[in-house]
Amino acid sequence: MNITEFGEVLTSILQHNQNLLKAGAAVKNYLVPMVWGDPGLGKSDIAEAVAGELGLDLIYADLATRDPAELAGIPWMQDGKTIRCRPDWLPEAGSGILFLDELPQAGIANLNIAATLIREHRIGEHALPASWMVVCAGNHQHNRAGTTTMPSHVRNRLLHLEIEGDANAWAKWASTQRIDPMLIAYNRYRAQEFHHKFSPTDNAYPTPRSWVASHQALQLDLSPHLQRQCMDGLVGEAASADFAGFRAILASLPNVEAIIADPDRGVIPGDPMTAYALMGALSYRAKPANFPSIVRYLDRLPEQEFAVVCVVDATARDRDITLTAAYQQWAAAHGELLSGH
């Protein structure tokens, strides 16, 4: 599944668990998702977004770097008996997501501690409130991310979900985050080659996470040469060079403001690279007031798939566009294309 689908599934799981809580069910009946995927796919970003949408707090429980004794609670004496302090990261009240990120990177002792947290909502004598839901994430062993083979009894307590890179799903999300439109357009254009290309040996390689970081690199007050080296250091030299070529066509793009002002005579792009770049520029400038003109221009495109890209990214960036008559008429006429995005 892609990151958007993971968000949908995670939301449904958490709502299901909340319904179990209201019905008085035991916490052992909760579904506990474990999302697997390459580094940089945005697993934690989606967990944070879902928590925000549901009005839940999110706490990262770092099982990978803590000593087992510290994780279980430091022992101390009381009335001649040994008891353990409650771990400071284990919530006592409220409701939210306890996010066990990078779970496979934890040692065996910590994974055994996690087993009771996942199944019974407790660490030793210290209980996790039933209003908190456990969510786990991590990388595969072939990612060489310092992972440990997860014990079978821990694996059997989890609902395992596999996440893969999906440029279209990422582009829609990136539009809501106001990522540079050329980065979004480029990732759509080079979806197969350079959107996500995991490397266990290279320092820098393209991932959804490194493309988001590239948005910040493009804001640096540096010469083009030094800015390019920063991009090399985020997505790798091959992807950086390819993006530089894509970005260079900005200078040759048809005048976007002229297209919006006179959509009936706006220049139609003659190749896919220019079309993707132009759709990115149009979607970035789209707003309710000028959307009828943009739709008028999009209707002239010989390949309506490009129009869909523009509309999807524009409406993700500004939801008010969906309230316009121009959008609703366009969506009614192109619903079969829009449903795939």
Domain ranges of the chain: 3-162, 167-338
Residue 109 burial class via C-beta count within 10 angstroms: exposed 0-12, middle 13-18, buried 19 and up: middle
Per-residue pLDDT at 143: 61
Under CATH, what is the fold of the domain 3-162?
Answer: Rossmann fold (3.40.50)
Compute the distance between CA of residue 99 and CA of residue 19 in angstroms, rounded to an integer: 20
Report the pLDDT averaged over residues 147-164.
85
CA distance 183 to 209: 12
pLDDT-derived band of residue 160, with 50, 70 and 90 as boundaries?
A: very high
Q: What is the pLDDT of residues 223-233, one digit of tens each?
A: 999 999 999 99
Helix (H, G, I), strand (E, B) or coil at 81: strand
Q: What is the pLDDT of residue 325?
A: 93
Using one digit for the tens of pLDDT, what is the confidence trace for 311-320?
A: 999 998 899 9
- Answer positive or negative: Cα dihedral of 269, 270, 273, 274: negative
pTM above 0.85, yes or no: no
What are φ and ψ of residue 58, in 5° steps?
A: -135, 125
Q: Give the three-class secondary structure for 60.
A: strand
Looking at every residue in the chain, the average pLDDT score rounds to: 88
| pLDDT, average across residues 301-306 | 90
